[in-house]
Amino acid sequence: MKITGYELFLVPPRWLFLKMETDEGIIGWGEPVIEGKARTVGTAVEELMENLIGKDPLRIEDHWNLMYRSGFYRGGPILMSAISGIDQALWDIKGKYYNAPVHQLLGGKARESIKVYSWIGGDRPSDVGNSAKEVVSRGFTAVKMNGTEELQYVDSYEKIDQVIERIAAVRDAVGPYVGIGIDFHGRVHKPMAKILAKELEPFRPMFIEEPVLPENNEALRDIANHVTIPIATGERMFSKWEFKRILMDGYVDIIQPDLSHAGGITECKKIISMAEAFDVAAAPHCPLGPIALASCLQVDATCHNAFIQEQSLGIHYNQGSDLLDYIVDNMVFEYKNGYVKIPEGPGLGIEINEDHVRKMADIGHNWRNPIWRHTDGSIAEW
């Protein structure tokens, strides 16, 4: 079997899909994208695919090393996201070739299902109490929300109080035992992160996410020594080598590699297994489309330390198109009592509605994240 060609589809709300073709008629799908830089990643995919046309798609480990190691310059969000989508498509082909789900080829399932959480609020969260109550009424047992708007390096306690008011509203709405993930989104710098984390402790969050920017991960030491809340990070880390240092430092409790950013199925399986050796949990990042989520679930199935999965159904970014619009069988992602079953179909376990993909690719998108500025006019972290 040989790889004969591929197509890229820029589809709403902000995704890029890859269709990989073989001479035996087996098709694989991947989702290579950086949110806001979809076309840039698409160009990287085109460059990487030059070396894969005519090759056997089943030699995934060799292809991964070719894509990563054969270039003098490597890593980073663009190249690793391109590798991720190609890797997903290769695994999809391999699973279909052997008529087995990817998790079976990775050693088999360690679980039948995994807990999922639902996003509430938006970039500037409001009315989160009612949103949380509605989500819990649909069976979810965990939610996640942006904790803050923009914060200066040192900002006012008024903004801290506003965050606490929102978290209190959620906790009051859902009771004491529903999990609340609070995403700092890298918007909080070290001086304020310690204050905010300490103020949040009474609400017993499930975790605080990206309490500082990943380039400032050394600051996690002070935060970890300051509070008892589990610390999560990793959505903007792109290889096992980046996760190596944070695991060795010992100040993170939950890693969040993204299956469309951190090297795909091949690399994220290794990253999560590395974390298991440090007694660190995994909650893969996935505010993206159905191919990315299916890839996450295939890896989650095989990793003992994966405990919850992000998913994008109803997330505030999904305007006009949503997670289930691009697949034939919506029930493959049926959320029941806060869990989703591991897909059992061959490959990634989902069937892409190619007619709908082509229709929506004619519309396309030019999604960009908002640009925020502080009152003084300086650029704020989004």
Tell me which residues are annotated as active site: 185, 285
Six-digit token pair at 8? Answer: 């890229």
Phi, psi (rounded to 5 degrees) for 46 = -60, -40
Helix or strand run (H / E) with residue 275: helix 264-276
Contacts of residue 200, Cβ cutoff 8 Å, sequence gap at least 6? 147, 163, 164, 167, 182, 208, 227, 229
C-beta of residue 257 within 8 angstroms of C-beta of residue 284: yes
Beta bridge partners of 232: 209, 254
How many Cβ atoms from other residues are within 10 Å of residue 108's Cβ?
11
How many Cβ atoms from other residues are within 10 Å of residue 177's Cβ?
7
Six-digit token pair at 378? Answer: 């300086």
What residue has token string 């009592």? 337
Give the number of C-alpha atoms closer than 13 A to the C-alpha of residue 101, restricted to the C-beta side.
22
Instruction: From 15, 74, 77, select the one nearest 234 (Cα to Cα).
Output: 77
Most distant pair of Cα atoms in the chain: their distance: 63
Give the number of C-alpha atoms closer than 13 A to the C-alpha of residue 315, restricted to the C-beta side.
23
The strand pair at 379-380 and 3-11 is best described as unpaired
The strand pair at 207-209 and 179-183 is best described as parallel
Instruction: From 204, 203, 221, select the one nearest 212 (Cα to Cα).
Output: 221
Instruction: From 148, 145, 111, select the one nearest 131 (Cα to Cα).
Output: 145
- C-alpha to C-alpha distances, 199 to 160, 196, 206, 228, 351, nearest whole angstrom: 8, 5, 15, 12, 45
C-beta of residue 115 within 8 angstroms of C-beta of residue 338: yes
